[in-house]
Amino acid sequence: MNNLRPDEKDNVFLFPKTLDYYQIELTRMLEREQYKEAAGLLRFLLQCQGMEQRNYEEWQALLDWLISAFPGLQEESLEDEETGFADQAEEEMARQHVQAKAAEDKEYAAKLLQTVTGQPLSEQTFLALDQLSYLESSDVDEVLVQWLGRQKLHPLLQYRVLQTLRRRGKTGHVTFLRTGERVEIDVESVPLRPEDFPPSIQSILERVGDQTQVHDPTLFYFAQELWFQFVMAIYGTMDYRSMLAEEDDIIDIWAAALHQIVSDTLPGGQGDEEIRALYGITDHLRLRFEQAYRSMRQFASFGLK
């Protein structure tokens, strides 16, 4: 998350619905032990105006606690190498923990698979998928691939399954339906982190950042969240492949659509004509822009239920 300069602080106000969203995001980050991301969000919130004093006191107290518990968060950004070592250590601890449970319970892998494939979608579904990443059971890949092919799953859940398969070291392709379209996915190429997506995917978000980071950082925060959820949901589809061309018009079209869909959800958002002008969406690009906007709006309204 990009931090604001001191002279930009007074321009950032939070609306009640926006605050609710951030509070939910903060809770989610803490539950998943995403402490670096939580610290970044807290620093952002502390720079905003329009909230009651108790909100700022609670955020500052929570940030202070995070820093005391994890001194590395004192710096707003960690060196990539240090972060890499920390991620590796955390992953190895998780692996040892899961494998120890599997050693104690021979049915542990089967229980995790049942949680994923046989129970209603919940936070436990994603936790079970994370744990399955570390198990060496030969049946796991086959069960997950068959489940992808048989069940009509939410596209974000499909993507999490793909990530699990990649972490497990599966190779080759899997074929299944995504949003009504049959796709073939090379498991070894599935991005595990937002920064792993191709440069053209990053360029679309950067284009929105050029228009919003200084004058509307709240919109850019929402855009970051929505964008990577969206590209995960359409990964491997025709829409996704269209973004890989790295053509300026394609980048402008998807950036404008992203800006528009987020602006629609925020009070006082810009109108479509103004946004199209910002991104140079002329009449001959209008139809493709509207198609991109509809695709993104369909995803945004679908939700994860």
* Domain edge (last residue) among 171, 189, 207: 189
| Per-residue pLDDT tens over the stretch 247-273 | 899 999 999 999 999 888 877 667 788
Residues 203 and 299 in one domain: yes
- Does residue 63 form part of some domain? yes
- Does residue 75 form part of some domain? no
Token code pair at residue 79: 């060196």
The CA distance from 44 to 180, in Å, is 39
pTM: 0.72
Q: Is the pLDDT of residue 155 over 80?
A: yes
| Predicted local confidence at residue 17, as pLDDT | 52
Residues 208 and 263 in one domain: yes
* Domain edge (last residue) among 160, 189, 218: 189
Task: Work out how many domains the chain is built from and give that number.
Answer: 3
pLDDT (average), residues 141-146 = 94
Residues 297 and 211 in one domain: yes
- Does residue 202 form part of some domain? yes
- Does residue 4 form part of some domain? no
Residues 169 and 218 in one domain: no
pLDDT (average), residues 265-284 = 85
The CA distance from 186 to 163, in Å, is 11
Band of the pLDDT at 224, cuts 50, 70, 90?
Answer: confident
**212, 143, 136: which is closest to 174 by C-alpha?**
143
pLDDT (average), residues 9-32 = 64
pLDDT (average), residues 184-201 = 94
Contacts 24+ apart (CB under 8 A), 101-110: 102/135, 102/137, 108/135, 109/135, 109/137, 109/139, 109/140
The CA distance from 224 to 226, in Å, is 6
Q: Mean pLDDT for the chain?
A: 82
Q: Which residue has 């609306």 as its token pair? A: 15
Q: For residue 165, what are the domain limits?
A: 105-189
| Predicted local confidence at residue 148, as pLDDT | 93
The CA distance from 45 to 62, in Å, is 12
Residues 114 and 164 in one domain: yes
Contacts 24+ apart (CB under 8 A), 78-84: 78/36, 83/36
Residues 120 and 183 in one domain: yes
CB 205 within 8 A of CB 177: no
